Structures are given as C-alpha cells and as structure tokens.
C-alpha cells in the first residue's frame, strides 16, 4: 500500500513540475470527460423519463390487461356490477398486489354544464401508472366507505369551475351527485382536458342514476412479475370467462417491455456517446503528443533514476501514472462541472419544461462513475506510449545528454 501511495505522490509531483506543458491537453481532457459524462447522464435521464411516460400509458412491466364485454350479441347491456365482482374475486384469489378494474365514462359537471371524462379506477392505479398528485392525495381504501364519493380531478376540471385550487372547490357535482374532491393531478402541458378519477362502484352508482351517462366496458389491469405474465393472463382469462358465462373476455400484455429488444433511446445515446468519445480521443492524442515530447527532454532525469537502481517496471509505472493522475484530476473537474450545471435552476427549468410538479432525480451516479473510469483508462492508454519510451533510457544516455 505504501508503494502505491508513494508512486501516486511521485506522479503528482512530476505533474506539478511539468504542468505548463500538459495544462492545455488536460483542459481538453476535462472538456471531453465533461461531454462524455453529460451524454451518459442525458441518456440515463431521457431513458428514465421515457420509460416513465410509456409506463404511464401502458403500465409497468409486466402489466396484463383483460377486457370484459358483458353486452349480448343483440346489444342488450349486461351487468357491469357482476363483472366488477368477478374481477375483484379473481384478484383476491391470486393475491395480486397491484391490480385495478378500469372503466371510462362521461359525467356532467354541475355548475359548468360541460362533460368531464371520468376514469373509474382502484387506488393501485396511481402506482401502476405513475399518476402523481400535486395537491391532496389519490384514492385509497377508506374512500369505499364514504357516503359521498371521493374524486381526484385535474387542472382542466378546476378551470371549468373558474380556476383556483382544492381549497376553492372542496366538493363538485357530477351527474347530479355531490362528490368530495380529495386530490389534484397536474401533468403540465396537455392536461387542460377535463378529467377525473373515481372508484368503479361509485361511478357505476352515479351512471345508473344519470340516463345521459355512457360508459365503456370494464377491464382489468394487473401488475405481475414478468416471468408470470403469460400464465397469469391465461388463468385470469379462464376465471373471468367461467364467472361470466356469455361474456367476451380477452387480453394481452400492455407494457412496453412486451416488445423484446425494443430500446427507443439506444440510437440517441449511441450518437451522444460517440460524439463524446471522438472529443475524448482528440484530447488524449494531444496529451500523448505533449507527453512524448516531454519525456524526450527528461533523458537525464530518467538515466539518473536508472543509475540509482530504479527498475524498468518502476519507471514505466511512474511515467504512466503521471498521465493517469492528470486525467483523473481533469475528469473529476469535468464531472464536477457537469453536476454543477445540472443543478442550475435554468437547466432544471429547461429539463422539466411543460411537466407540472415534476422533480428531477439526482445526477445519475452511473454517469459520474463512467466518466471517472474512462478518464483513468484514457490516462493509462495515453501514458503507456511515453512510459514505453522511458524504460528504454540508459545511464550512458544521461551522461551524453
């Protein structure tokens, strides 16, 4: 351990002595590492954001969706309550941790005279679809016992009522029934369309008393382990068909990972990383050039080291470590600049533009570690050339020089 510390200290001392020669090359390496780290970080953040967006639309991996059509062939409507009972029984039988019955309908918003799209979902739906609440809370199990149904609304619904927050609209009238507003969803741009979320049984009860309400067929969404998705889909389909004779039941996987090998961000990330690698190679080339010129001017120093018993291995490691230490320091500075830029308010605002209430995660640690490893690797490769030249130095050359 002492030898390693001594070698690194020796390399740092030599780097400080020759800093005037290698400074510009290290600046290039700093910029290159910063670009590489930024490209990896942007790729990670973009992938995380896109995956969250796709999971918000199709569910997490693995989400299986089953549609239940209870209407007869001649158009006679079936019993949606019986279908909902069958769905809940199947979920309980297989002990599925995250599942939700789902149905859409339109109800008249009292005081505005406009129709609001109602999503009938279970409390688990918020977790399954990344549905965040900006104010208040989402639906929970205690809402099933309410006399007045609970409802979660979006910003567009509140705008129909004159704007304001939850404090200004604690209750709203939907289809002639007074509902208690418990939460507000704000998804930023594209969230102007009036929408609300309620428990399925509450929606069925309101729709039954509102002749103008038209609702879609019931469906079941279940978030299950990926290895159990196919078997789970088969068994749930079989159970629902058995519990609902004459009903049409079908389903599939709806999450994006159902398409194996699909990575929508791979081309973008490869382009960013490729550009950063080119910049990095140019910086490394400059460092190699300066190091080779420098090592040819240090013939006497290297010869004296050999005269005092320094082995070829010790000289090789010492010279190579000079480049490694320099690039690691430069890379650390580049990574620090990336993290500092990432935390700037103007950058945070640019990355979250149009996404209301979104809080960016911390700087990706994988990007910082990748940048540091690449910096050390580039230093080792760039230092191997002058180190190879250095080990060929002889004591007689120091005398001649």
What CA–CA distance (Å, rounded) separates 58 from 52?
Answer: 10
7-11, 163-167, 305-309: least confident range: 7-11
Same domain, 376 and 395: yes
Which residues span the domain enclosing 292? Answer: 2-55+263-400
Same domain, 113 and 225: yes
Q: Give the strand pairing for 177-185 and 150-154.
A: parallel
Contact in structure between 15 and 325 (CB atoms under 8 Å): yes
Same domain, 364 and 244: no
Q: What angle do CA 225, 361, 327 make, to 5 degrees?
A: 110
Residue ending a domain, among 232, 254, 276, is 254
Same domain, 124 and 241: yes
**Polymer length of the chain:** 401
Residue ending a domain, among 208, 228, 254, is 254
Task: Determine the pLDDT at residue 64.
Answer: 93
Domain count, the chain: 2
User: In DSSP terms, which residues pair with 136 in a beta bridge?
Assistant: 183
Q: Residues 73-121: pLDDT tens digits?
A: 556 667 888 899 999 999 999 999 999 999 998 888 876 678 888 999 9
What CA–CA distance (Å, rounded) separates 213 from 312?
Answer: 87
Same domain, 294 and 385: yes
What CA–CA distance (Å, rounded) separates 13 from 117?
Answer: 70
Q: Residues 246-304: pLDDT tens digits?
A: 888 999 998 888 776 666 667 777 787 787 778 777 777 777 777 777 776 666 677 77
Helices (H), 59-149: 80-93, 125-128
Residue ending a domain, among 236, 254, 272, is 254
- SS3 (DSSP) at 98: strand
Q: Residues 12-60: pLDDT tens digits?
A: 666 666 665 666 667 777 887 888 888 788 777 777 777 777 888 888 8
Same domain, 19 and 152: no
Same domain, 88 and 11: no
Q: In the numeric block, which tokens belong to residue 210?
A: 């509102």
Average pLDDT, the chain: 80
**For residues 276-311, b (16+ Cβ closer than 10 Å) or e, as one string?**
bbebbeebbebbbebbeebbeebbeebbebbeeeee
Same domain, 167 and 153: yes
With cut-offs at 50, 70 and 90, classify the pLDDT of residue 130: confident
Same domain, 332 and 289: yes
What CA–CA distance (Å, rounded) separates 10 from 203?
Answer: 75
Q: What percent of the chain has pLDDT over 70?
A: 81
pTM above 0.75, yes or no: no
Same domain, 113 and 191: yes
- Whose structure tokens read 């050390």? 376
211-217, long-range: CB within 8 Å, 24+ apart, which pairs? 212/108, 212/175, 213/105, 213/106, 213/107, 213/175, 214/105, 214/106, 215/80, 215/103, 215/104, 215/105, 215/120, 216/103, 216/104, 216/105, 217/67, 217/68, 217/69, 217/70, 217/71, 217/103
Same domain, 353 and 234: no
Same domain, 50 and 73: no
Judge whether residue 357 has pLDDT over 60.
no
Q: What mean pLDDT is predicted for residues 159-174?
A: 79
Contact in structure between 249 and 237 (CB atoms under 8 Å): yes
């Amino acid at each position: 351990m002492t030898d390693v510390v001594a070698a690194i200290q020796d390399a740092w001392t030599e780097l400080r002595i020759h800093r005037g020669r290698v400074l510009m090359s290290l600046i290039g390496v700093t910029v290159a590492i910063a670009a590489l780290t930024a490209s990896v970080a942007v790729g990670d953040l973009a992938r995380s954001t896109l995956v969250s967006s796709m999971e918000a639309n199709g569910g997490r991996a693995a989400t299986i969706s089953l549609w239940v059509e209870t209407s007869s062939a001649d158009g006679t409507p079936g019993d949606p309550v019986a279908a909902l009972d069958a769905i809940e029984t199947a979920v309980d039988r297989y002990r599925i941790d995250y599942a939700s019955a789902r149905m859409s309908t339109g109800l008249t918003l009292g005081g505005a005279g406009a129709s609001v799209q109602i999503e009938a979902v279970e409390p688990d739906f918020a977790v399954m679809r990344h549905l965040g609440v900006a104010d208040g809370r989402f639906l929970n199990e205690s809402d099933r016992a309410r006399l007045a149904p609970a409802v979660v609304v979006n910003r567009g619904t509140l705008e129909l009522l004159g704007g304001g927050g939850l404090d200004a609209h604690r209750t709203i009238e939907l289809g002639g029934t007074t509902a208690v507003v418990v939460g507000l969803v704000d998804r930023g741009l594209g969230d102007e369309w009036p929408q609300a979320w309620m428990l399925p049984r509450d929606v069925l009860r309101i729709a039954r008393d509102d002749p103008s309400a038209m609702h879609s067929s019931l469906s079941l969404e279940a978030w299950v382990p990926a290895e159990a998705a196919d078997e789970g889909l088969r068994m749930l389909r079989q159970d629902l068909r058995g519990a609902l004779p004459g009903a049409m039941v079908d389903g599939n996987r709806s999450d994006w990972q159902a398409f194996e090998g699909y990575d929508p961000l791979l081309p973008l990330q490869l382009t960013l990383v490729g550009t950063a690698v080119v910049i990095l190679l140019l910086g490394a080339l400059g460092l190699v050039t300066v190091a080779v010129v420098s090592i040819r001017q240090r013939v006497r120093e290297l010869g004296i080291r050999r005269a005092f018993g320094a082995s070829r291995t010790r000289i090789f490691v010492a010279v190579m470590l000079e480049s490694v230490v320099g690039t690691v320091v430069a890379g650390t500075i580049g990574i620090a600049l990336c993290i500092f830029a990432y935390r700037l308010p103007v950058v945070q605002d640019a990355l979250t533009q149009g996404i209301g209430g979104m809080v960016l995660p911390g700087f990706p640690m994988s990007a910082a570690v990748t940048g540091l490893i690449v910096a050390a690797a580039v230093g080792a490769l760039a230092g191997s050339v002058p180190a190879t030249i250095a080990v060929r130095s002889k004591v007689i050359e120091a005398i001649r020089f």
